[in-house]
Copies of this chain bind each other. A is one copy, B any other.
């Protein structure tokens, strides 16, 4: 049977409140401190979290809502959040929504019920239902990966990413370009990343670029890429994510189109695997791990009521590798 604070108090010959004070860093005489400490150690006493939370009406838990678990971006971000939170004495609770928007909303309310101190939200799209939930719960929320004017958010510089890539490929002499993007519902990837790219291409007078759309799944990218390559033969395909880029490479290798000699390919993300494949993939690196750590810091500040800049933008980094040829 687990000991309670009363047991400890009794055995130490003091009042419960004294033990509680000791536990919470209040002042106790050296003498009682020793007595209590001894008993606690002896019985391996640990306070009951529920009783604590019931009184204190809060916890040291940060809830994190993620759209999926099997993505490099998500897992790296989670690792960053978790590591940093540990140092800040918070626990991380993960709610996976499998890209189901209703589950996102539910998860927010669930977290509120559990009295988490703050919520980190990784979501592709913020709807009115999200905003309502966030307002309802009265708990600090930090949005990661997307920007929203009404919310504290932490994003990667998608426009910059797109621009850097666009600038580079033009510089390498590419003129017949395909950009294989994703739905504009995902503002960060679907709109901003593409915008940045477009902007760079627009500065090149004799460039043509065709825009296509696919999903985040590599398997679908393979199919879309096949359809594209059937119709045209660009010198370069820029994919909105490394995952999609790998799908394109797959299709190319299947069709015996050699990369980068016959077709250049580039992506976004900077996944570890892109360095291991052949040829290595030119990409824009996103600092997910760092983003996670920063997110943890921000949410902890928000919880404490400290101010945090409404929008934080993380720099990205162009990584030159083998998959883009100079022509």
Contacts and interface: CB of A to CB of B under 8 A. Distances in A.
B278 A218 contact: no
Interface string A196-221: 00000000000000000000001100
The copy count of this chain in the complex is 2
Interface stretch (A10-18, A76-84, A143-151, A153-161): A76-84
A53 interface: yes
Nearest to A217: B272
Contact of A50 (B83, B94, B98, B115): B115
A247 B83 CA distance: 27
A257 B51 CA distance: 64
A79 B96 contact: yes
A79 B72 contact: no
Interface string A120-159: 0000000000000000000000000000000000000000
A276 B218 contact: yes
Contacts of A109: 46
A96 B78 CA distance: 10
A113 interface: yes
A250 B276 contact: yes
A205 to B, nearest CB: 36
Nearest to A252: B278
A273 interface: yes
A48 interface: yes
Nearest to A94: B94
Contacts of A276: 218-219, 222, 246-247, 250
Residue among A114, A222, A249 with the highest chain B CB neighbour number at 10 A: A114
Interface in A44-73: 46, 48-51, 53-54, 69-70, 72
Interface string A272-292: 110011100000000000000
Given A48-B113, A246-B273, A253-B278, 18 more contacts: A46-B113, A49-B113, A50-B50, A50-B51, A50-B53, A69-B75, A69-B78, A69-B82, A70-B75, A70-B76, A70-B79, A78-B96, A92-B94, A93-B93, A218-B272, A218-B276, A246-B276, A278-B278
Interface of A: 46, 48-51, 53-54, 69-70, 72, 75-76, 78-79, 82-83, 91-94, 96, 98, 109-110, 113-115, 218-219, 222, 246-247, 249-250, 253-254, 272-273, 276-278
